[in-house]
Amino acid sequence: MLAVRNLTKRYGDTTAVDGLTFDVQPGRVTGFLGPNGAGKSTTMRTILGLDRPTSGEALVNGRPYAQHSSPVREIGALLDARAVHPGRSAHAHLLAMARACGIPKARVADVLDLVGLAGAAGKRAGEFSLGMGQRLGIAEALMGDPGILVLDEPVNGLDLDGVRWVRDLMRDLADEGRTVFVSSHLMSELQIVADHLVIIGRGRLITEAPMADVIAAWSNTHVVVRTPDPGALAAHLKRADEPGRTVRIEHGDDGELLVYGLTAEDVGDIAYGAGTRVHGLRREEASLEQAYLEITETSVEYGARAGDQEKEHQ
């Protein structure tokens, strides 16, 4: 497990991370989101002992990274896939890591095969495409067979098949009970694979919650109801409005009711209890991207003004 406690990191007069607290639990994929400059990279670097916190702490299985006798067996990371000597082959790079960290030599072939680079093991890293470099970086993260994976933009440069492979890999690792902490700007991919989200802005925690809860609370997720008695059903549904639950009903273009604040199960039960006929009932879930933009609207540090955006589209 990863635990970040009141973490603050300052660089001179700049506060990159400001009192950040959250947990990353095993057995699930946790997405780490925030605008550019939010402090994501600094947080990851601090977790991995590359930056020293100004105050607070980041713990890997209950200890700071540097206090583990063999950190690579506890946590593997992909922060910069380009951090490889360009003259070394993929095999030589991983073999050097294995020797330095006391990892059996046989593990090199295993991870190269796992990430799809067995056929390029002798090729120099400087000749790799961006996608191949990402695969090598993931291989390095997996070398110690760690229980925790920290991945920063792992699908950057990958083709569609590679993106799907990384998605399946993260899912499989989490299903094995490992802790997977991934930062990405590809909201559509995170919506598919992530179970939980940690969203920060300007170095502070904005929200930490399950994916479904974030989308439901911060987006236009609603239930579409097709009924021959829209007026009667709407009146019954509005009676479910109560403190802590706001029910809003709109009329769609095709005579359907758009119901906000209730689940499809709620709507079905209310209609059944009221004896109102329902000919169609479905949930329309908004995207993580929509929810994310709403959540971080006031936390964007680097953004174009509306006029500038209009010029860009002209």
CATH code where residue 40 lies: 3.40.50.300
- Whether 307 is in a domain gets the answer no
Helix, strand, or coil here: 203? coil
- Whether 246 is in a domain gets the answer yes
* Concatenated DSSP letters of 97-117: HHHHHT--THHHHHHHHHTT-
The reply to whether 167 and 55 lie within a common domain is: yes
Q: What is the pLDDT of residue 313?
A: 40
Residue finishing a domain among 209, 241, 272: 209
The reply to whether 180 and 231 lie within a common domain is: no
Q: What is the pLDDT of residue 286?
A: 79
Separation CA 12–CA 96 (nearest Å): 36
The reply to whether 160 and 271 lie within a common domain is: no
Q: Kindly tell me the number of DSSP H helices and DSSP E strands found in the chain.
A: 12, 13
DSSP 48: T
DSSP 245: B
The reply to whether 104 and 191 lie within a common domain is: yes
The reply to whether 255 and 109 lie within a common domain is: no
Sign of CA dihedral 294, 299, 300, 305: positive
Per-residue pLDDT of the chain (314 residues; tens, 9 = 90+): 999 999 999 999 999 999 999 999 999 999 999 999 999 999 999 999 999 999 999 999 999 999 999 999 999 999 998 889 999 999 999 999 999 999 999 999 999 999 999 999 999 999 999 999 999 999 999 999 999 999 999 998 889 999 999 999 999 999 999 999 999 998 999 999 999 999 999 999 999 999 988 887 776 788 999 999 999 999 999 998 887 678 889 998 788 999 988 889 999 999 999 999 999 999 887 789 988 998 998 877 655 554 444 444 44
Separation CA 33–CA 214 (nearest Å): 12
Separation CA 124–CA 120 (nearest Å): 9
What is the distance, to the nearest Å, from the Cα of residue 124 to the centroid of all Cα atoms in its chain? 31
Q: What is the pLDDT of residue 303?
A: 52
- Whether 84 is in a domain gets the answer yes
- Whether 75 is in a domain gets the answer yes
Question: E-assigned strands of 62-177?
Answer: 75-78, 148-152
| Whole-model pTM over 0.85 | no
Q: What is the pLDDT of residue 312?
A: 41
Alpha helices in 3-129 (DSSP H): 40-47, 71-74, 90-101, 106-114
Nearest CA to 179 out of 75, 87, 302, 78 is that of 75
Nearest CA to 46 out of 59, 29, 62, 32 is that of 59
Separation CA 227–CA 61 (nearest Å): 53
Pairing of strands 75-78, 14-24: unpaired
Nearest CA to 148 out of 48, 80, 50, 52 is that of 48
Domain count, the chain: 2
Q: Which two tokens stand for residue 266?
A: 């709620």
Nearest CA to 182 out of 106, 190, 268 is that of 190
Separation CA 278–CA 256 (nearest Å): 10
Q: Which two tokens stand for residue 163?
A: 């993106």
- Whether 96 is in a domain gets the answer yes
Radius of gyration of the chain (CA): 24
The reply to whether 100 and 232 lie within a common domain is: no
What is the CATH classification number for the domain harbouring 258?
3.30.70
* Structural domain of 230: 222-284
The reply to whether 233 and 112 lie within a common domain is: no
What torsion do the CA atoms of 81, 87, 90, 94 make, to the nearest 10 degrees?
-80
The reply to whether 263 and 127 lie within a common domain is: no
The reply to whether 204 and 243 lie within a common domain is: no
The reply to whether 205 and 239 lie within a common domain is: no
- Whether 151 is in a domain gets the answer yes
Separation CA 29–CA 34 (nearest Å): 16
- Whether 131 is in a domain gets the answer yes
Sheet architecture: strand order including 222-226:
248-251, 257-260, 222-226, 280-284
Residue finishing a domain among 150, 179, 209: 209
The reply to whether 133 and 235 lie within a common domain is: no
Residue finishing a domain among 158, 181, 209: 209
Partners of 8 in the β-ladder: 55
The reply to whether 147 and 254 lie within a common domain is: no
Nearest CA to 47 out of 158, 223, 181, 147 is that of 181
- Whether 305 is in a domain gets the answer no
* C-beta of residue 49 within 8 angstroms of C-beta of residue 65: yes
Q: What is the pLDDT of residue 83?
A: 87
Q: What is the pLDDT of residue 165?
A: 93
